[in-house]
Copies of this chain bind each other. A is one copy, B any other.
């Protein structure tokens, strides 16, 4: 199968077919595509009308999955065009985790009507159960669909029950074993089950070692565990150890991507989660807070320079290097903080925080010294004033070391306080380092030049 590729021609053709109400042709066209492709098409056309038309036209078996992949605004708009009954039919086709994510977005009274309209009452109950978990937790990620057997069943009973349960489970990843209190006590491989005598008890064959997470664990923790142990699914237990759901790797792939995207955007000075396709207003809201911070930092730097105005007449050249000092302080700080933030995210920081700080200090000292020697030569060649060159170069070393320490210390501190260290990267570190950098610079220059 050649991979699906969006083209302007395809979009135009579909728009045309919708306008002329060529339902048959549309159905035939969409029949070729995967639900993720159809979602991509609707996201690209990007009008609620076209989206509603396509969703109403196609079979709910297909459209339910399409809904899960639509952009939030678009989905909200399309759902507002459907009746509670129509939404319930879509929801009925989805796994409980995706279903819960969608109904959670509905207005309260609509949510209630939709739940009441779901024919399968057990499915409805499962969805309602999931709604009470925080979105940002293992409970918020998990689905209720899983294959669960009791330790004191025989293999025969187990296989019979499993057949019934597996009906609702798209892919059987693992069979989980619980005791009479519904507590997770182990797992079972399909292979073992099939090679064990039919009358044997599950308790004789199950594997008592099983990785699991707690409903309240953070998605990042779940992602770290699943990726470390190469798991394709992990069971979720509640506060007293009862098996309540399972999380599959495809949801975790989304978590890993979102986390990486968020950290990347924060490092680039973008405060909210936006992508290229969001509106200009949303982008302004996401970007201007950090730019404002940069403005404050720059104005602070200007005020400091104003305070040293008396140096201007004799040592104007000092002022020419303020952008360099500020930029280097920012760059070094961002490098240090990025390494720490990434180490914290992937939980692979070795040794104590103190040893970490000392390492970044030595690193900044090494980098600062190399760069200072280069700058010393460059400034001396330009102006031929040794004291000025010395002032600038010694400042650069000092500023580099300070920036490295700040860049290391702040994310470690935030992490210890339970705040996401990623907010410290980018403009925050840059701005504070700008101000510190220029302050240090002028003090050192004043001392060396003996003014």
A249-B249, A268-B335, A356-B276 known; A328+B228 contact, CB < 8 A = no
Q: A209–B264 Cα gap in the complex (Å)?
A: 37
Question: Is residue A438 within 8 Å, beta carbon to beta carbon, of the partner chain?
Answer: yes
Question: Is residue A121 within 8 Å, beta carbon to beta carbon, of the partner chain?
Answer: no
Q: Mark A34-69, 1 if CB is under 8 A from B, else 0.
A: 101000000110100000000000000000000000
Q: A312–B301 Cα gap in the complex (Å)?
A: 18
Q: A275–B269 Cα gap in the complex (Å)?
A: 22
Measured between beta carbons, the chain B residues less than 8 angstroms from A77 are none
Q: A283–B211 Cα gap in the complex (Å)?
A: 36
Question: Is residue A150 within 8 Å, beta carbon to beta carbon, of the partner chain?
Answer: no
| Least CB distance, A22 to chain B, in whole angstroms | 24
Closest to A319 in B: B319
Question: Is residue A332 within 8 Å, beta carbon to beta carbon, of the partner chain?
Answer: yes
Q: Is the interface of A mostly helix, strand, loop or mixed?
A: helix
Question: Is residue A327 within 8 Å, beta carbon to beta carbon, of the partner chain?
Answer: yes
Number of copies: 2
Q: A325–B356 Cα gap in the complex (Å)?
A: 34
Segment 368-392 of A: residues with Cβ below 8 Å from B: 370-371, 374-375, 378, 382
Closest to A348 in B: B275
Measured between beta carbons, the chain B residues less than 8 angstroms from A171 are 232
Measured between beta carbons, the chain B residues less than 8 angstroms from A342 are 261, 264-265, 275-276
Measured between beta carbons, the chain B residues less than 8 angstroms from A320 are 301-303, 305-306, 319
Q: Which of A111-119, A133-141, A197-205, A252-260 contacts B (4 or more CB under 8 A)?
A: A252-260
Closest to A312 in B: B316
Contact across chains for A212 and B1 when beta carbons are under 8 A apart:
yes
Contact across chains for B276 and A349 when beta carbons are under 8 A apart:
yes
| Least CB distance, A323 to chain B, in whole angstroms | 4
Segment 297-318 of A: residues with Cβ below 8 Å from B: 297-299, 301-303, 305-306, 309, 312, 316-317
| Least CB distance, A423 to chain B, in whole angstroms | 14
Contact across chains for B350 and A277 when beta carbons are under 8 A apart:
yes
Contact across chains for A232 and B250 when beta carbons are under 8 A apart:
yes
Contact across chains for A230 and B250 when beta carbons are under 8 A apart:
yes
Question: Is residue A339 within 8 Å, beta carbon to beta carbon, of the partner chain?
Answer: yes
Pick from B44, B230, B312, B328: contact of A298, CB below 8 A: B328
Question: Is residue A128 within 8 Å, beta carbon to beta carbon, of the partner chain?
Answer: no
Q: A140–B225 Cα gap in the complex (Å)?
A: 25
Q: A126–B269 Cα gap in the complex (Å)?
A: 47
Question: Is residue A324 within 8 Å, beta carbon to beta carbon, of the partner chain?
Answer: yes
Q: A253–B251 Cα gap in the complex (Å)?
A: 11
Contact across chains for A284 and B324 when beta carbons are under 8 A apart:
no
Q: Mark A323-355, 1 if CB is under 8 A from B, else 0.
A: 111111011101101111011001011100000
| Least CB distance, A239 to chain B, in whole angstroms | 15
Q: A201–B359 Cα gap in the complex (Å)?
A: 66
Measured between beta carbons, the chain B residues less than 8 angstroms from A302 are 317, 320-321, 323-324
A261-B342, A264-B267, A268-B425 known; A36+B350 contact, CB < 8 A = no
Measured between beta carbons, the chain B residues less than 8 angstroms from A261 are 260, 342, 346
Measured between beta carbons, the chain B residues less than 8 angstroms from A209 are 1
Segment 274-299 of A: residues with Cβ below 8 Å from B: 274-277, 280, 283-284, 287-288, 290-292, 294-295, 297-299
